[in-house]
Structure 1
Amino acid sequence: MAGFAATVLQVIPALDAGGAERTTLEIARAIVEAGGRALTASRGGRLAGEIEAAGGRVVSMPVHSKNPLTIWANRARLLDLVRREGVDLVHARSRAPAWSALWAARAAGIPFVTTYHGAYRANGPLKRFYNSAMVRADLVIANSAFTAAAIRAQYDLPPGRLAVIPRGADLDHFDPAGVSPERVEALRRAWGLPARAAMFALLLPARLTPWKGHETAIAALARMVVNEPSSRDAGNQPVLQLIFAGGAQGRGDYAARLRAECEKRGVRSMVHFVGHCADMPAAYALADVVLAPSLRPEAFGRTAVEAGAMARPVIAADHGGARETVIDGETGVLVPPNDPEALADAIREIAAMPAPARARMGATARARVAEKFSTAAMCAATLEAYRALLARRAAAPAGPA
């Protein structure tokens, strides 16, 4: 991806955990590696240091605010940054900062790009207008075909203005061969889990929020315990362990509700709330199966591709982006959303597989991610889109891109 001598400003509310935030880091790294300059305007967060370490620069700015006055003030802040740093292209990744970035890019006469990291709902004309900042760009990127269809259902975009560039997994970072047994064992001990051979580990990596399906997973586990007492009492059978890897992010009441639900259903000792995990490759390596039982459709669902890259089968809700990233029966299992019994059946199905069959499913998953959903492919497609916009702008400097 060499030969990209441009300065790109990405604008995102914060740089904590999440798919949009991780993509911002990955694109910043790709820009720098290709020879360009990568700026990010954001409130900041845990990924800011990683962007700086990759050679990018993070500029603190209140672009997370939805206050109309702050959004308007951010327009001037961004325009000043664009002019001061010689920015060639602005890329916004969320609605509120997209308005500020749109005005700044138009005032500076440079291309403006947006990425839909989710399929926004529009309940009424005011919300639809608020969302429309994302489609006023010279190029609108959708992170999946599902997201692109949702955009087309609401807005009439001219041909060529909408591109599908799926999110990707870093195949070097998420590589089973690169995760040592010591890393996995250290994580197991830190999380207080049974010995590896004595458990069948179910990993649900997601922040603690109701729509991610944690309650569905608890209900499925409870059904398995009632129907199969060996799920609770090890004996010669591995004990089911359900791991929630994700922070509460201010939703302490919901976390407490989940714990109470575990107590009520008699599975509290089998469910582990481990919080944010800094070593997700090791977490996936520790798991036997990865769960993605979201109640609402995931716009893309990076869990499925990261788990697949780590050669782990995924059980996902059968809607949204999961239909693109999981092949039912080949790389994992798709189940009806919010159906604990179906989820329990899928867990039983994969748990009953001989280890070689489960390994083949995992290997198929990794091969599919390598073919269709790698970070390298996502970054290459994004930089190529930047190049095309900049070339069009250079050819017609007085007109819109």
Structure 2
Amino acid sequence: MESKHILYIVSNVSKAIAFEWIADELSKKGFKISFLILGKSEETGFADYLKVSGIPYKSFSLGGKLSWPSLIYKLYNTIKTFSPDVVHTHLVEASLLGLLAAKLAGVRYRISTRHHSTFHHQYHPRAVLYDKIINRLSTKIIAISPNVKRVLLEREKVDPSKVEMIPHGFDLEEFANVPNDRVELLRKKYHISEDAFVVGSIGRYFSLKGIQYLIKAFIKFKKEVPNAHLCLFNAHGPYKKELHELLKELNQDEYTEVAFENDLFAIYQLFDVYVHVPIDPEIEAFGQTYVESLASSRASIFTLSGIAHEFVIDGYNALVVPYQNADAIYQALNRLHKDNELKSRLTSNAAASVKDYNLQKFINRLEALYLQSDED
């Protein structure tokens, strides 16, 4: 049987370990994989990976809305040239422009993965129209969590037969087995003391991520634990000014901000405690960092949002705190600093809690979905 050709269209992706996993694993299963990348820069780490791996790809400059008709035409021509069996899009611009171009090019099987839940409904209501157009253009929509599925079915009234729930998958061993020399390399790179009690977070600077509550809690915690050090990774975004105002209460050597670090797996191993506290139960569509932190066996403090509702249990594999509550985060930090037995219990239960989010299970579900196009 001839290899099925899956053409991925993605937007605003610079470094994407998940897409690298997908490309590697599906290629092993005999699929032909190619990518169209839309972004502000045509030279990215992900494009470099594709080039080295010999995976066909083409990059396109993604500009403002006035440039979209021209870009749709370019995508249409490229899709006709690539002649895929399936087009699978990720993220809003790639889905909106890519699905339309694919439909015009006569691609019958068009899949979009929905990476956000209530974000547009709460913060950008006009963009809900884009979501509804994407829903119409898709022949299948992948919901990455029950939360996303509810939004699609209840808020956006998508035909249930269109929606397929496939949670993200992870190479869990990569998080569990990080050589110590890589961790120490990061410690030296970012000047983090060997005896520091490191409180960490990985998340872009959006108010919805709740980092402001973590910073307030840490300021109070630091007064009682002098060797505490705050690490904020992926530290960029539209809420930067407000967070920097809060950080002024700390000395510059008491916290570390890193906009981008390539070794995601080693980052988690730097932390004595990991904190992820989004501001409400629905704002996270998935929340990959919940899985990553527990796969890394970190003692974690969470609010429950996105996929966390499915496996995080307070006092068993993490400490769960109320939304938008700096004092509760402070108290949880104190508990984990003082109670080694509690910390040990959480970390010993952590990795097993997320074993179902393994990469092979995810790839098998994708494979089954792609092969459905033979039956339709």
- Do the structures match in fold with TM over 0.5? yes
The within-5 A match list for 1:339-354 is: 339-354=325-340
Cα distance, 1:66 vs structure 2? 5.0
Looking at structure 1, the residues matched to 2 and 204 of structure 2 have their Cα atoms a distance apart, in angstroms, of 35
When the two structures are superposed, what TM-score results if normalisation uses the length of structure 2? 0.89
Change (3 A) 1:363 1:160: farther
RMSD across aligned C-alpha pairs, in angstroms? Answer: 2.4
Cα distance, 1:292 vs structure 2? 0.8
Match of 1:366 in 2: 351
Cα distance, 1:114 vs structure 2? 0.5
Paired residues of 1:298 and 1:322 also in contact (CA < 8 A): no
Match of 1:118 in 2: 116
Deviations 1:221-264 (A, max 9, x none): 122234x2xx12xxxxxx21110111426x5xx5455344222x
Looking at structure 2, the residues matched to 164 and 313 of structure 1 have their Cα atoms a distance apart, in angstroms, of 29
Change (3 A) 1:46 1:330: same
Match of 1:41 in 2: 36
Structure 1 residue runs without a partner (length 5+): 233-238, 394-401
Q: Aligned partner of 2:114: which letter?
A: Y
Paired residues of 1:168 and 1:374 also in contact (CA < 8 A): yes
Match of 1:133 in 2: 133
Aligned length: 366
Looking at structure 1, the residues matched to 34 and 202 of structure 2 have their Cα atoms a distance apart, in angstroms, of 29
Change (3 A) 1:320 1:333: same
Looking at structure 2, the residues matched to 368 and 39 of structure 1 have their Cα atoms a distance apart, in angstroms, of 34
Deviations 1:134-182 (A, max 9, x none): 3121110011111111111222233331111111221232123xx2222
Structure 2 residue runs without a partner (length 5+): none
Q: What secondary structure does 2:108 align onto? A: coil
* Counterpart selection for 1:200 from 197, 200, 206: 197
Quote the sequence identity (%).
22
Deviations 1:265-292 (A, max 9, x none): 3454321113311112111112111111
Deviations 1:11-63 (A, max 9, x none): 1112225xxx443333222222212222111134322222334442331123x
Looking at structure 2, the residues matched to 342 and 61 of structure 1 have their Cα atoms a distance apart, in angstroms, of 46
The within-5 A match list for 1:292-303 is: 292-295=276-279, 297-303=283-289
Match of 2:234 in 1: 246
Match of 1:90 in 2: 87
Looking at structure 1, the residues matched to 2 and 189 of structure 2 have their Cα atoms a distance apart, in angstroms, of 43
Looking at structure 2, the residues matched to 106 and 260 of structure 1 have their Cα atoms a distance apart, in angstroms, of 48
Q: What secondary structure does 1:76 align onto? A: helix
Q: What secondary structure does 2:84 align onto? A: coil
Match of 1:236 in 2: none
The within-5 A match list for 1:51-200 is: 51-62=50-61, 64-65=62-63, 67=65, 69-107=66-104, 108-119=106-117, 120-122=119-121, 126-136=126-136, 137-176=138-177, 179-195=178-194, 198-200=195-197
Q: What secondary structure does 2:173 align onto? A: coil
Paired residues of 1:311 and 1:362 also in contact (CA < 8 A): yes
Q: Aligned partner of 1:128: which letter?
A: V
Q: What secondary structure does 2:279 align onto? A: coil
1:307 and 2:293 are equivalent in the alignment: yes
Paired residues of 1:222 and 1:267 also in contact (CA < 8 A): no
Paired residues of 1:5 and 1:35 also in contact (CA < 8 A): yes
Match of 1:24 in 2: 19
Q: Aligned partner of 1:185: which letter?
A: E
Q: What secondary structure does 1:284 align onto? A: helix
Change (3 A) 1:373 1:224: same
Deviations 1:321-353 (A, max 9, x none): 322242222221221222100111111222223
Cα distance, 1:106 vs structure 2? 2.2
1:8 and 2:9 are equivalent in the alignment: no
Cα distance, 1:125 vs structure 2? 7.8
